[in-house]
Structure 1
């Protein structure tokens, strides 16, 4: 089989890429070894946000007890998982046909390069003028004794029976969000943190505040500066060992220690594609060291955050580049990111920690509990930090609150248009008393 483009992987970036290439007249194939749609809709952000809605409602009702709510909600994990599966079944079952509807030939199997113009899938050779690698990342394997007992996010999304207590190894997005979800379901959670702080990359002051909230309000236990060395089967569950001794016995142990590039099976050396342990190396046009092979999404070794939004942005750019709609290099916009904990952490633009080390920036810290937008008084510790440059333009923001993602998303246009906040206020008037309106009073 011969194609103009073969895309390896089928995540959200691939869907965007196919949309951009739809009227190009090019013959395109998409190769996927697992489930079409990739990690995000199958075992990542889409099922997570479905569960998060119920968890947030449950935790909010707990906060409102004694403030007008007499009986807090109780989350039925088994029923929630069943509802998630039901809600997403038709969408996920149609992913492959959606790609075919955009003109692509879909091929199920694992791809590996034979040379710069050839891959092998299911013992058959497929040739193409160009390739796009979008295989994403997979859970970081923990090579320790007892690793076979560990669950990952994939298993957890299918777990119908709620364990009484779990240990979560890792404290990035996945670890902290699952700690929140399981805690809302009444599970006793212990988070094992390799360093002294979870969620590296978020504003450290807000992270410390979040940890205090999760400990005091949700009863989550944190063990810091600890590496797990082994997991052993016990009569009542699994014992987790560290260099300092036994950390406890748990019904389930979850590996949330990070994600690594899905790269090994590709045999990139055969095609002359350079890579590192962070992913595939690309230039400012998303071109690899082999000039007919491109990469996009989480598989790329990049400084931009590995998010669905950045992957789709790269896909839009790459399809525009390959259809001669642009000749410019890739330039990322203002990027927002959020962790769906309770409360949420969200941020965009210049980080607060970085701005504190640079005299070119000034920082405004705001206690947003002191205002007119406290809904029933459930958000007692909400804080917003803003970064301004020498021209008084807003260039960064970080927030901890139950509505942080909405607030930061409302601030991103202010950063993107790069004007004095007073000019922005003249051009935009948000609906009152919506959450976005309070931004007007804060900048």
Structure 2
């Protein structure tokens, strides 16, 4: 029997930490987890889950707006009840929060509702109690940050959306990434007047160029006012209670609320990493090896705290792989290649594999693009387009990337991701029979090369 209190101690009860803990316990390890805020982490409590519920709410309003075109004379959009939505959302979050706690209990994992910090490389202060562990996993996730401008404290960060007592009539969202676009879109769908500021010419920096352009058009069609190439310089509240945001080029925008969605940083402050000789990166992240080990070989880090690929399913996969490696007798790592992801705007977007720009750096490619009005909106006349795109290696004809903006994009891309991970070629797509009439069938009926690059 080990002289340590536990074989494994996990700092952080989010998706990655909980998965690592309970799989390790299933392999026979003595495991404990400490969570200082809420079980399930960002995703369950102030991220993916409550956000998606609010996205659904916004979509109902759009469907009601479209319904008369299909003969539904009583389905008219009306005033949205924010309190009803918030109550239903919070109840679901509470249910999932309890499930995470039960998963640990059922796996015989010891749980601490406390903050854990390092005393030395095998000892932790857990809510005032000294606890030792043979191995330690850092899974503390990230936190939203405000920009370093005067008055930034007057604005909201993404976590604050889920504590608002009422929907702001006017809001300015700052940022061009997932969170900014999703929150701008759902608030617009629920009735807010939304301005969106971002530094780049197009949103979603780093993603496929056609997808970025289609997203900008879709946001404008939804009624969001875009301000590309703009970032805030200062935020002030006037004596009339109105917030005034001054941009870097001197423009002044008036609003009721400002939300900063300008990135998240690893939540490593105060963790005591300096006591165990672990140096963080520029963003505060914990550098790790391919096996998720830190500079201390018995201390590991997983999830957003490593700032590798900050997605909940990735953290979960990495946590599971680490547990199998440490205690399951099956050393392995989770792949960071061809990870599918989605942006839950209106309409949503999803992507897997390489963008056209990234693929072109590897060699000659064939690019297939389809852009059309989906059947539903040929009837409703709503200005919503669908974009579908395949990026193919010219020599091998292997499909390197797939990108979509349009309804059900996330659901469709999950299946496409299986094909791309399996190494499917364009011929494999071509000989697959489409399901008609669907938008998804376009992925298997693209026959004409839109352009060749390289």
Deviation at 1:377, TM superposition (A): 6.6
Q: 1:89 to 1:181 in 2, by over 3 A?
A: same
Find the residue that maps to 1:241 and give its secondary structure: strand
Deviation at 1:265, TM superposition (A): 1.5
Q: Where does residue 411 of structure 1 map in the other structure?
A: 416
CA-to-aligned-CA distance 1:311-344 (integer Å, 9 cap, x gap): 1111121111112443345433521111111121
Q: 1:431 to 1:197 in 2, by over 3 A?
A: closer
2:321 touches 2:332 (CA, 8 Å); kept in 1?
no
Q: 1:245 to 1:65 in 2, by over 3 A?
A: farther
Q: Where does residue 452 of structure 2 map in the other structure?
A: none
Q: Is residue 2:227 matched to residue 1:223? A: yes
CA-to-aligned-CA distance 1:174-205 (integer Å, 9 cap, x gap): 11111111101111011121332221122222
Find the residue that maps to 1:264 and give its secondary structure: coil
- Which of 140, 148, 152 is matched with 2:145 structurally? 140
CA-to-aligned-CA distance 1:87-123 (integer Å, 9 cap, x gap): 3323324433332222111112222212211122223
**Counterparts in 2 of 1:18-417, with a 5 A limit?**
18-63=21-66, 66=69, 68=71, 70=73, 71-74=75-78, 75-215=80-220, 217-234=221-238, 235-278=240-283, 279-302=285-308, 305-369=309-373, 380-389=384-393, 390-417=395-422
- Which of 13, 20, 30 is matched with 1:17 structurally? 20
Deviation at 1:30, TM superposition (A): 0.5
Q: Distance in 2 between matches of 1:182 and 1:373?
A: 22
CA-to-aligned-CA distance 1:143-200 (integer Å, 9 cap, x gap): 3322222212222112231211011121211111111111011110111213322211
Find the residue that maps to 1:442 and give its secondary structure: coil
Find the residue that maps to 2:363 and give its secondary structure: coil
Find the residue that maps to 2:444 and give its secondary structure: helix
**TM-score computed with the length of structure 2 as normaliser:** 0.89
1:348 touches 1:412 (CA, 8 Å); kept in 2?
yes
- Give the unaligned 5+ runs of structure 1: none
1:352 touches 1:398 (CA, 8 Å); kept in 2?
no
Q: Distance in 1 between matches of 2:59 and 2:415?
A: 21
Find the residue that maps to 1:270 and give its secondary structure: helix
Q: Distance in 2 between matches of 1:69 and 1:160?
A: 32
Deviation at 1:34, TM superposition (A): 0.7
RMSD over equivalenced CA pairs, Å: 2.5
2:21 touches 2:32 (CA, 8 Å); kept in 1?
no
Deviation at 1:4, TM superposition (A): 1.0
Deviation at 1:268, TM superposition (A): 1.0
Deviation at 1:290, TM superposition (A): 0.5
Q: How many residues align?
A: 439
Q: 1:244 to 1:371 in 2, by over 3 A?
A: closer
Q: Distance in 1 between matches of 2:347 and 2:12?
A: 34
**TM-score computed with the length of structure 1 as normaliser:** 0.91
Deviation at 1:274, TM superposition (A): 3.1
- Give the unaligned 5+ runs of structure 2: 448-454
Deviation at 1:285, TM superposition (A): 0.6
Find the residue that maps to 1:22 and give its secondary structure: helix
Find the residue that maps to 1:168 and give its secondary structure: strand
CA-to-aligned-CA distance 1:354-388 (integer Å, 9 cap, x gap): 12444332211123548899786757421111011
1:236 touches 1:249 (CA, 8 Å); kept in 2?
no
Deviation at 1:46, TM superposition (A): 0.6
Q: Distance in 2 between matches of 1:438 and 1:365?
A: 10
1:134 touches 1:297 (CA, 8 Å); kept in 2?
yes
Structure 1 residues 9-18 or 68-77, which shifts more?
Answer: 68-77
Deviation at 1:308, TM superposition (A): 0.7
Q: Distance in 2 between matches of 1:5 and 1:374?
A: 57
Structure 1 residues 238-247 or 260-269, which shifts more?
Answer: 238-247
Q: Distance in 2 between matches of 1:177 and 1:125?
A: 42
